[in-house]
Amino acid sequence: MRSVERITVRGSDTEVNLVFRLAEAYMAEDSAVSISIAGGGSGVGIAALLNGKTDVANSSRALTEKEIALAHKRGIRLVAHVFAADALVIVVHPSVGVDSLTLEQLGRIYAGEIRDWAEVGGRPGRISLYGRQSNSGTFVYFREKVLGRDFSPALKQMNGTAQIVESVMRDPYGIGYVGLGYVAKADGSIRQGVRIVRLKANARRPAVSPLDEVALRSGDYPLVRPLYQFTNGRPSDKIKSFFQFETSPAGQQIILENGYLPPWPDMLSAYHALNPPSAQIETLNYYTETR
């Protein structure tokens, strides 16, 4: 009887649906592998990897110094695989009447310093904040990149990204941050019921849409981030084959169809220029090896 290699993947809710679709397509080509996918947040996936409870940790953020130190203490050699990228999108209820914001305004909104939409040119009304829970990589990324301090106590923390979208759709004063794949459909259209806010890196820069591919490739859109999969040591056998499939033309087509981005080298270079990766972590990108 033919043996089947079982691979467990756990972590980021931003990545869970995408990786599930990639795994489905890969398993359709290779019946000798079974891949199980679970979410729970980037922190949950990384903790599972450090505790030997998963083969792959999905993460929408880089590793923390504490996680790196714990891995070193346990003799775990963490390796990062960049298989895609994501534009973090700001969505509001259409009735809010706001089309663009600076990163500073966005940070002040989520810190609770700006509390009424009229303060940023919108329809008067108290702003309703929606976001993720603290075990989410998106929560950590947004706090570090946009706020630089703690979130407002008024933040409504949702279990998953889909809940943020649904909540903003129902709340005429709502704002949320979500991955592009949750609001952009495969045909390029945008999910009805929310408005995507254009962002300015600062007041002097033009407002940029996450739907602008040129701005995404160049790094001009300010909230673009790599998506990671971490392993203990360099991946081999079926895990390596799966990672190579993700960044193959077939895998990249799935990534694009689901509203995510290829790990374009110029975009990642712009990101890493502002967010230098840890020298202690080896980072792989099979996308560049096949081109």
Q: Alpha-carbon distance 19 to 194, whole Å?
A: 25
Judgement on whether residues 199 and 104 belong to the same structural domain of the protein? yes
Given a contact cutoff of 8 angstroms between Cβ atoms, the answer to whether 23 and 9 are in contact is yes
What is the sign, positive or negative, of the torsion defined by CA atoms of 123, 155, 148, 19? negative
| Residue carrying the six token digits 């820069």 | 205
Residue 124, SS3 per DSSP: coil
pLDDT value of position 290: 58
At which of 218, 245, 277 does a domain end? 218
Same domain, 33 and 152: no
Torsion of CA 154, 132, 151, 217, to 10 degrees: -130
Strand partners, 34: 6
Per-residue pLDDT in tens (0 to 9) along the chain, 291 residues: 568 899 999 999 889 999 999 999 999 999 999 999 999 889 999 999 999 999 999 999 889 999 999 999 999 999 999 999 989 999 999 999 999 999 999 999 999 999 999 999 999 999 999 999 888 888 888 999 899 999 999 999 998 888 999 999 999 999 999 988 888 766 666 778 899 999 998 888 889 999 888 888 887 888 988 999 999 999 989 999 999 999 999 999 999 888 888 888 878 887 777 777 777 889 888 887 655
C-beta neighbour count of 82 within 10 angstroms:
22
Contact 64, 185 (CB under 8 A): no
Confidence at residue 33, expressed as pLDDT on a 0 to 100 scale: 95
Q: Which of 218, 236, 254 is the last residue of a domain?
A: 218
pLDDT at 93: 97
* Same domain for 37 and 132: no
Query: DSSP strand E in 166-237: where?
Result: 174-179, 195-196, 198-200, 224-232
148/60 same-domain check? no
Domain that holds residue 30: 5-85+225-289
Domain boundary residue, one of 218, 239, 268 = 218
CATH number for the domain harbouring residue 164? 3.40.190.10
**CB contact at 8 A, 45 and 54:** yes
pLDDT for position 186: 60
Check the CA dihedral 278-279-284-289 and report its sign. positive
- Whose tokens are 């359709």? That residue is 28
91 and 200 in a single domain? The answer is yes
Which residues does 119 contact at the CB level (< 8 Å), separation at least 6?
none
